[in-house]
Each structure stands twice: as C-alpha cells, then as structure tokens.
Amino acid sequence: MILQTAVLSALLCSVHTFTLQTSFEKNEENLGNTIEDDDFSISTLLEKANANVGKNFDDPLVLFGDIAVPTGLQNADPCTARGCLWPKATDGNVYVPYRISNQYSRRERNEIIQGLRSFAPSTCIRFTPLNGQSDFVDIQSRSGCFSFVGRRGRAQVVSLSRQGCVFRQIIQHELLHALGFNHEQTRSDRDQNVRILLENVIPGMEFNFRKIDTRNLGTPYDYNSVMHYGRFAFSRNRQPTIIPIPNANVTIGRATQMSATDILRVNRLYRCNTTAAMRAPKPVQRNQVFY
C-alpha cells in the first residue's frame, strides 16, 4: 500500500511537471492576459511548486512567496545589519561559490548549471563550484522554490524543487534573490506602476504584496523583470491581483529569462565594469546598497 502510494505520487508529480512544460510551449507566442494564459508566469510557477513549502521540519519559514526568512529574525533583516553583497575579487569579478545536491538528474543538473552560467556573459557575477569557501549557495531540491535575499553567510539554501522549479526563469529568479534582489512589485515606487487589488488576494497572503523600501539603483520599474509576479498572483477568485497602470493591458510577469533591466541592476549593485554597465542610460547611483 505504501509502495502504491509512492508510485502514485511520483506519477502525479510527473503529470504536474508535464503540464507545466506544455503550458510553456503553448504560451510562448501567446501574450494574452487571461488567467489561463498566465499558467507559466513566474508567480504561477512558484505558487504551484510552493504548495507544500513549510510542511517539512527543516524548511525555513517562507515569506513573500518564495523568499526564505530564518525563524526568529523576521524583524531584523540580516542585510541591513552587516551588508549582504557577495564580495568582489581584485579582478573585478564577484565569485559566488555553489554546490548542487546530488538529488538531481543529469538533465536537471545541466539546466541548473546553465542558469548559473547565464550571469557570466552580461555581468561580473561568476558562480563557481564550491572549493573550500565558507559562504556559498547550497542548491537543493526541497519542497518548493525559495531563496534568502542576499548573502547570509555559510551555506545558504536555494531550493529548486525537482517538481516545478528547474526552469531557466525560476533558477535565475532564485539566484537574483540570493544576490540581493526583491520582487519587482514590492519596489518602493511600485504604486506609480501597478495597482494592487488586495480584495482579490487569498486571505492571509496579503503580505506578498507589501511594499519594501528598496533602493532601485536608478533603474526603471520593469514589467518584464524575471522578478515580477504575474497579474493573478495569489488570486482567490480568478480576478487580477496586480494591474499595470496607466495601461492595464500591458503584459506583466511573463519573463522567460532575465530582462535587460535585471542585468543592468546586477551590474549596478555589484558595480560591474561590463559593457552592459557602461551602456547604462543613467549615471550609477553610488553607495546605494540594495535593501
């Protein structure tokens, strides 16, 4: 009986994953804004994958959808106390050591490595295999997709569940959290760019829409950021929870990879001396450490 249950849940998981992949393909050229079209928005993927987060004893308390917060430190973000950037090496690169759990299949592992490597061509971030460093990103398949914001010290879990998180945009999204970024719709200037409809939000999930006093690094609000949730995020009634303003029909939260602004922000936060940073339209605002 136990074996049967195990087989059944394995089957259910693979059906679930298959459904997600089909939605990806189906929606690639479909930019509609109905809830059905939103099946592959970042937030929909995260919500599906995170349905069971917190049920495991060793999971961190998860707030803001997929941002992990250590229990007991909810009121004092470690970033504000000691800075949470990853250190810069003398060659100008920022080396972020990583370890990938052996839970993954070869295909999944390759997908994760591709995601890690995707930062190198356009930023100074270099995710490199762990080699004795004390602070590193510990990539594991836990019950959902989540990450801490910024460097926390020692091994910090970035959870990429095999059931629903091993996709390019989710991998980049969680790594951007680990580099220090929050969700786009929590930005300090979000009220000029989106309207939040709390009346449509699942009761108890309103905290996902709290505004954060972010430093925005002189970059514009970006609906196409891989950090932006979709318009039906945490909806209790199939009605939108995030509406772009002034044009309500603009597509939001559908990024399949980091946007140019996501890349620019990484370059500004870490003061990368890359072509992308050089080409930046606005002057870099120094001393603005994010968060």
* CB closer to Zn ion, 66 vs 222: 66
108 counts as catalytic = no
* CB closer to Zn ion, 66 vs 111: 66
Q: Is residue 262 close enough to count as binding Zn ion by CB under 5 A?
A: no
The site string for Zn ion over 24-63 (x = CB under 5 A, - otherwise) reads ----------------------------------------
Report the alpha-carbon distance of residue 113 to residue 127 in Å, rounded.
Answer: 9
CA end-to-end distance (rounded Å), the chain: 50
Q: Which residue is nearest to Zn ion (CB)?
A: 66
Cα torsion angle, 229, 152, 144, 176, sign: positive
Number of residues that bind Zn ion (CB under 5 A): 1
Written as one letter, the residue type at 220 is P
Q: Is residue 222 close enough to count as binding Zn ion by CB under 5 A?
A: no
Considering the candidates 25, 174, 199, 206, report the single residue annotated as catalytic: 174
For the CB of residue 228, give the shortest distance to Zn ion in the complex, in Å. Answer: 10
Please check if 183 is assigned to a binding site: yes
Please check if 16 is assigned to a binding site: no
For strands 155-160 and 145-147, give the pairing: antiparallel
Tokens of 91: 């060659």
For the CB of residue 146, give the shortest distance to Zn ion in the complex, in Å. Answer: 7
Q: Give the count of beta carbons closer than 10 Å to the beta carbon of residue 70.
A: 12
CB-CB contact of 111 with 167 (8 Å): yes
Q: Is residue 66 close enough to count as binding Zn ion by CB under 5 A?
A: yes
Applying CB under 5 A, the residues found at the interface with Zn ion are 66
The residues that are catalytic are 174
What residues are designated binding site for Zn(2+)?
A: 173, 177, 183
> Binding site membership: which residues?
173, 177, 183
